[in-house]
């Protein structure tokens, strides 16, 4: 190590002299120049040519836009994240105090147990009004897990496991900074243990362990919503996939500060799968198939709980000239959706449910994974029936289709049918 810190004699001659010894430096440099005149000329020409080459390279590079981008102020003064963008001050969230009554964060419906099959289909318009510009406060969520026989398809029923007797569960709407009190009651008549895992929760299991409830038991916890976005919630009691496939999923929207842009209509739609022992099209009360669930071979794909529910029982409705927003999620438990509205283009897509990144624009189809969500918006220009589908179109035959009915005058500047009478008889979507 000591020898590395010492100059050898040759290195000493090349080391810079002390400040003030300029005359000695000039003499040493002059001694090293070629003494022959021709040699000095050649050295000079070589230096000139090298300088010219460097100038040409620099001129070409500077005129290249990629070089300009590379040498922008951000790049020149540092490529670290701290130089590229000002580090934001960390937000400090605190639980909201109890000031007055705690209002529900979802629409409240009465649970009514009946002996016969019921409609478990969640109305796509069944969601709370936008929050807008209000400040953070304390809100509550009341979930009741109910096992009920519901209508699955024409002539077929199924034993659903639900949140608040519908599929999906209630649409929960809060804003960032809200403190949310969650209370879950497992109905007295239930056979299974149930709970709830919110993807919007920062905490162990998303609240699942804190809400494990046996039949007749009530559990609860509270959390502060610190991340804006659209999130899925679901039952997470093992085997979680079984509870989800039987209908135990929903969504929670955490609005950013100031809320979302105003639209004319908002809709709540979720996709799921149902695994039955009986084949597609069977009649009577169908039973779940554990083996098909593990093999990921569903007999039915559904929007809002039942086959063709949003095409026949609860279609979406709007008028020309209006802007609609669809909160779309996938309960799953297994299949990704390629969400598409036939005959429309999404003007804006908040990909993966993120509300703090810029939306994508002019999108035809968007992918949503199991346990994921998205928000799409579109302005309706022409009247007609527009099908909601997963563009894995074989699933339409297994019940996965909805309809957006748009009423209003024709708009031939946008769309003109040359033979509307014949088109009216068409079997195409």
The residue with greater pLDDT, 351 or 425, is 351
Section 124-149 average pLDDT: 96
Section 83-110 average pLDDT: 78
The CA distances from residue 214 to 59, 144, 203, 206, in Å, are 75, 12, 22, 18
The CA distances from residue 160 to 97, 148, 168, 288, 395, in Å, are 38, 5, 11, 9, 21
The residue with greater pLDDT, 95 or 326, is 326
The residue with greater pLDDT, 311 or 41, is 311
Handedness of CA 385, 386, 389, 395 (dihedral sign): positive
Which has the minimum average pLDDT: 8-17, 280-289, 308-317, 324-333? 8-17
251: Cα within 13 Å, side-chain hemisphere:
33
- Say what the pLDDT of residue 29 is: 43
C-alpha span between 384 and 418 (Å, rounded):
15
The residue with greater pLDDT, 275 or 87, is 275
- Model-level pTM greater than 0.95? no
Average pLDDT taken over every residue of the chain: 86
pLDDT range class, residue 110, cuts 50, 70, 90? confident
The CA distances from residue 24 to 18, 29, 35, 40, in Å, are 10, 9, 19, 21
- Say what the pLDDT of residue 310 is: 98
Section 291-320 average pLDDT: 98
Helix (H) or strand (E) holding 232: strand 229-234
Which has the minimum average pLDDT: 4-8, 89-93, 150-154? 4-8
Section 98-123 average pLDDT: 90
- Say what the pLDDT of residue 116 is: 85
- Say what the pLDDT of residue 38 is: 52
- Say what the pLDDT of residue 92 is: 82
Q: Is the pLDDT of residue 258 over 50?
A: yes
- Say what the pLDDT of residue 109 is: 86
End-to-end Cα separation, the chain, in angstroms:
81
Handedness of CA 76, 79, 81, 85 (dihedral sign): positive
Using only C-alpha atoms, what is the Rg of the chain? 33
pLDDT in tens, 409-429: 999 999 999 999 999 888 777
Which has the minimum average pLDDT: 4-18, 19-33, 219-233? 4-18
The CATH architecture of the domain made up of 103-407 is Sandwich (2.60)
- Say what the pLDDT of residue 291 is: 98
**The pair of three-digit structure tokens given for residue 409, joined into one six-digit string:** 């005058």
pLDDT range class, residue 111, cuts 50, 70, 90? confident
pLDDT in tens, 22-62: 444 444 444 444 555 555 545 455 555 555 554 544 454 44
Q: What are phi and psi of 43, to 5 degrees?
A: -65, -40
User: 229-234 and 197-198: which strand pairing?
Assistant: antiparallel
Section 168-175 average pLDDT: 98
Please report, rounded to a whole number, the percentage of residues in the chain having pLDDT higher than 90: 72
Q: Does 48 sit behind a cis peptide bond, omega within 30 degrees of 0 on the bond before it?
A: no
C-alpha span between 391 and 394 (Å, rounded):
8
Q: What are phi and psi of 355, to 5 degrees?
A: -105, 0
C-alpha span between 204 and 208 (Å, rounded):
8
Section 300-326 average pLDDT: 98
Section 267-275 average pLDDT: 98
Cβ atoms of 334 and 297 closer than 8 Å:
no
The CA distances from residue 99 to 139, 172, 205, 354, in Å, are 11, 21, 29, 31
Spans of all domains in the chain: 47-84, 103-407
Q: Which residue has the tokens 């927003």?
A: 325
Q: Is the pLDDT of residue 212 over 90?
A: yes
Cβ atoms of 95 and 179 closer than 8 Å:
yes
Triad 131, 140, 263: Cα angle to 5°: 20
């Amino acid at each position: 190590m000591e020898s590395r810190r010492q100059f050898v004699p040759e290195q000493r001659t090349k080391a810079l002299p002390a400040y003030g010894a300029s005359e000695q430096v000039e003499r040493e440099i002059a001694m090293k120049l070629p003494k022959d005149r021709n040699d000095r000329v050649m050295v000079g020409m070589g230096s000139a040519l090298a300088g010219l080459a460097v100038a040409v390279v620099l001129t070409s590079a500077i005129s290249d836009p990629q070089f300009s981008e590379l040498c922008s102020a951000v790049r020149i003064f540092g490529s670290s994240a701290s130089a590229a963008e000002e580090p934001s001050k960390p937000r400090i969230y605190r639980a909201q105090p109890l000031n007055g009554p705690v209002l529900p964060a979802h629409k409240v419906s009465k649970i009514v147990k009946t002996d016969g099959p019921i409609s478990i289909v969640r109305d796509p318009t069944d969601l709370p009004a936008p929050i807008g510009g209000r400040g953070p406060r304390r809100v509550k969520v009341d979930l009741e897990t109910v096992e009920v026989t519901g209508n699955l398809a024409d002539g077929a029923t199924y034993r659903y496991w639900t949140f608040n007797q519908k599929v999906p569960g209630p649409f929960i709407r809060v804003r960032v900074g809200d403190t949310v009190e969650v209370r879950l009651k497992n109905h007295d008549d239930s056979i299974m243990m149930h709970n709830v895992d919110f993807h919007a929760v920062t905490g162990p299991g998303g609240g699942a362990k804190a809400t494990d409830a046996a039949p007749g038991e009530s559990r609860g916890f509270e959390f502060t919503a610190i991340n804006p976005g659209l999130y899925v919630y679901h039952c997470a009691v093992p085997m979680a996939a079984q509870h989800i496939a039987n209908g135990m999923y929903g969504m929670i929207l955490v609005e950013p500060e100031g809320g979302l842009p105003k639209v004319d209509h908002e809709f709540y739609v979720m996709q799921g799968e149902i695994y039955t022992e009986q084949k597609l099209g069977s009649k009577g009360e169908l039973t779940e198939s554990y083996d098909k669930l593990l093999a990921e071979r569903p007999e039915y794909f559904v929007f809002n709980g039942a086959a063709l529910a949003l095409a026949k029982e609860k279609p979406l409705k709007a008028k020309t000239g209006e802007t609609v927003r669809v909160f779309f999620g996938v309960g799953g438990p297994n299949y990704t959706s390629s969400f598409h509205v036939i005959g429309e283009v999404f003007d804006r897509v908040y990909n993966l449910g993120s509300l703090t990144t810029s939306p994508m624009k002019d999108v035809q189809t968007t992918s949503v994974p199991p346990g994921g969500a998205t928000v799409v918006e579109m302005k309706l220009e022409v009247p007609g029936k527009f099908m909601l589908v997963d563009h894995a179109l074989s699933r339409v035959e297994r019940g996965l289709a909805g309809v957006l009915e748009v009423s209003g005058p024709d708009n031939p500047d946008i769309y003109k049918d040359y033979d509307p009478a014949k088109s009216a008889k068409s079997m195409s979507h």
